[in-house]
Structure formats: structure tokens, C-alpha cells
Amino acid sequence: MIQRVPRGAIPYLLLLPGIGWLVLFYLYPALQLFLVSLWTGNITQGYQQTWNFGIYAEGFNEYWPWIVRSAAYGGLATLLAFLLGYPLAYTIAFKGGRYKNVLLFLVIAPFFTSFLLRTISWKIILADNGLVLGPLKQLGIIPQDFQFLATPVAVIAGITYNLLPFMTLPLYVALEKVDFRLLEAARDLYAGPWRPGGAIVGAIGGGILAFLAALVVEINPLLPVAVAAVVGALIGRYLISESFVRITFPLSLPGVFAGSLLTFIPAVGDFVNADLLGNVRTQMIGNVIEARFLKITDYPMASALSFILMAAIIIGVLIYARILGTEELTGGRA
């Protein structure tokens, strides 16, 4: 019986369950959602299918600040997760030795608790007079009116924390595959430390990060940028080697790509962190959509915003893939 299936058809047969699942639980609801976005009316008087495409322009005009904020928070969280996750993944892959599996387990261990619970526990631990800030205030190390919760930093930190494993695991997989013999070959071919280059990259990286952080918390960026640039330069100077720049990093790019997408996409759409750790001024587009659906029951606008978000993410990802793709091709040119 099985032998009668033509060989060429086997891959398609294997795809069938997955495709079926997607059609049933993704494509069909998405289509439904699209139709809903073109309704007019309200919950009490009922809705009509009016094909009101104008709602998209309306939604974009009204809510673009939330979209921009979501992209900024998501982007920053992704960048932070990358900066934390890359050294972590690198260390586990190259220096983990026999503890590799234990360390990897620790990376994913937070997943054994629910996302919501972990975020709520942040709220408790980092409360204005909670476990961390309380003693610090009592000792006079930080001012009495210092607040961590209800700030953009808290939201971004929360997102970063929650999504860090999504960044770390793909990076680890990519780095683990890098053959250390290639690094020996690079050293054999005079790839040594990368002092000036490393310092410049470190300074630029640190500076950008500090600048973005200053923008988010709305303080004067000058001092933080200067400090971060110096620190970055020192780190870059001593940690980045030429074999890393020429071999390890380019070979880990698929992991960078996968990790940053797996982090960025859920980060942009997130509303839990903004809800629990933020305030009204840190609301993301996810919060708006959630409110439109569940509290205001403005289904058409909620659906339209979902689609706008989806389109924005797809466009962003395509641009990103384009940039990283060409980077990979030209990565070796000096």
C-alpha cells in the first residue's frame, strides 16, 4: 500500500498535517479577522460588513505613536537580549565543557513557570518599597521617590527578561556548530587581537545603546553616551578578536537572525509587560488592541490594528533579512 505512493509525493504528504493545522487555526481565523476589520457598527446595534477600508488609514493615523513605541521597545528589548544572550551563548558553547547541558537547562529553566507569574513576581520584587528598592532607600543609596515600576525601563527590561531564552537558544545552536578548528586556522593565518577595531565597535555599540536608553527614560544623553562609549571601547578592545570578527560572528549570523526574530516579533506585540510593569505612557500597540477587543469591544478597529501591526512586522523583517543576508555575503571582505 505504502509502496504505491509516488516518491515525489512523500514530502507533500508529510507537510499535509501541518498545512491542515495552519489553514484551520491560523489562515481561517486570520481571514475572519480581516473581514471583521471591515465591519461597521457597535456591539449594541450590531455590525454590518461594509468593506470600510478607510479604517486602516484611520487606525494608522490615530495609533501610529503606539506602533512606533512598540517597535522602539521591541527593538531595544531585542538589542538588549542580543547583548546579554550572545556572550551567554558564546560562553556556554565554547567554554561550557561538560557543564554545557546544565547551563542550557538553566537558560530555559524560567520557562517552567508561567510568563504571567514571572512578570507579576517582578512587580512584587521591584515594587517602590519592595524587596530590592526598600532596603536601598533605607540605606539612602537611592532617593526616596525613586521608581522602577511604571517606567519604560521596567517594561523593556521585563520584555528582555521574558524573551531572553528565545534569543539565547538559537545563538547557542549556531555557535555550537562553529568548528574550533576554523578558529585555529584563522590564528594560523595571523588573526590575532583586534584592538583598534574592537575598541571602535565597542564604543559605537555602547554609545548607541546609551543614547537609546537615554531617549526612552527621557534624560540628557550626553553623559551616559560618553560613559558607555568608554566602557564599550574597553570591553571591545580586550574581548573582540580578529578570528571572532572574521569567522565566529559571520558563522553565527543565522543564529542572530533567528534569535532576533524570535525575540522581536513577540516583543512588539507584547502587552503583558506594559500592563504589569508600565504606566499609561508606556502603553504598546498590544495594549491598545487588547483594550479595543476586550474592554471597548470595538472589534473592527482592534482587527484593523492587528493587521497593521502584522504588516509592519513583515515589512520590518523583510528589510532586516535583506540587510543581514547581504551582510553574510560580503562579511569576508576586509
C-alpha span between 110 and 108 (Å, rounded): 6
DSSP 241: B
CA 104, 109, 111, 112 torsion: positive or negative? positive
Nearer of residues 237 and 292 to another protein, judged by Cβ: 237
Residue partners of 217: CB distance under 8 A and separation at least 6: 151, 152, 153
Applying the rule CB under 8 A, the residues between 96 and 115 that interact with another protein are 97-98
Which residues lie below 8 Å from residue 256, measured CB to CB, with a gap of 6+?
82, 86, 171, 174, 324
**Residue 297 beta carbon to another protein: minimum distance, rounded to whole angstroms:** 52
Burial of 6 (0-12, 13-18, 19+ CB in 10 A): exposed
**Would you state the cell numbers that stand for residue 115, as one nine-digit string?**
510568563
Stretch of 125-133, 149-157, 176-184, 299-307 contacting another protein, by CB under 8 A: 176-184
Q: Tell me whether strands 46-49 and 39-42 are parallel, antiparallel or unpaired.
A: antiparallel
Q: Which of 123, 137, 187, 195 binds another protein (CB under 8 A)?
A: 187
Tell me the closest approach of the beta carbon of residue 180 to another protein, in angstroms.
10
Q: Which of 18, 44, 61, 181 binds another protein (CB under 8 A)?
A: 181
Min dist. Cβ of residue 250 to another protein (A): 5
3-state percent helix, strand, coil for the chain, nearest multiple of 5: 80, 5, 20
| Chosen residue from 251, 256, 312, 313 binding another protein by CB under 8 A | 251
- Positive or negative: CA dihedral 88, 94, 99, 102: positive
Q: Which stretch binds another protein (CB under 8 A): 39-47, 110-118, 151-159, 184-192?
A: 184-192
Q: What is the DSSP code string of 41-53?
A: EETTTEEEE---T
Least Å distance, CB 240 to another protein, is 15
Distance between CA 137 and CA 224 in Å, rounded?
23
Counting contacts by CB under 8 A, is residue 179 touching another protein? Answer: yes
DSSP 265-276: HHHHH--HHHHH
Which segment (39-47, 61-69, 149-157, 174-182) binds another protein by CB under 8 A?
Answer: 174-182
Nearest distance in Å: CB 242, another protein: 7
Smallest gap from residue 98 Cβ to another protein (A)? 8
Closest to another protein by CB, 92 vs 308, is 92
Q: Does 290 bind another protein (CB under 8 A)?
A: no
Identity of the residue, 8 or 97, whose beta carbon is nearer to another protein in the bound complex: 97
Q: Note the residues at the interface with another protein (CB under 8 A).
A: 97-98, 179, 181-182, 184-192, 242, 246-247, 250-251, 328, 331-334
